[in-house]
Amino acid sequence: MVTVRIASWVARLAGTLALLMGLFFWSVELGWLNAPLVFNHTYINIHIAFGVLVTLALLVVSVALLLTRGGRILGAIGVVYALVVPIFGELQLSLYISGAPWLVPMIHLLIGVGAVGLAQNSGRRYNRLKPATTQNTASGGRAEKAQVAR
């Protein structure tokens, strides 16, 4: 349970930092800001590292949810989504459309925000499902027996 909570926070923090770096990159690319260092490979690699952290955190939360009864569908969706995120991240430069150069970065933004949102929702679902299972098994089912006796 602690691992899922930490992974949720990692996804939230890394996602926020990746989002801010991406918006800063867009601002420079559109000419709103003048910062030539943004086109440095180190800056882009840091942005990619934050994206990898979000993807790994989503994968950790999704696998934990996949192993929890009642959350297997959302866990499977999270695992598949965690595989889609890096594939699209790597292919996005080759997908640019000449008539709509804003379309691919916008899809990239939505996929990243979706990964963070899915990690948060999966973490919440896990926390909702897991304490009920843990409490019931820790008491040896006595809570259910006491309710049936009433």
Calculate the alpha carbon distances from 27 to 54, 82, 86 in Å: 23, 27, 23
Q: Give residues with Cβ within 8 angstroms of 59, minimum separation 6.
A: 78, 79, 82
Place of tokens 């098994």: 137
Task: Give the predicted TM-score (pTM) of the model.
Answer: 0.79
Mean pLDDT by 10 residues, the chain (150 residues): 92 95 82 70 88 96 92 93 91 76 86 96 91 55 47
Judge whether 6 and 128 are in contact, CB under 8 Å: no
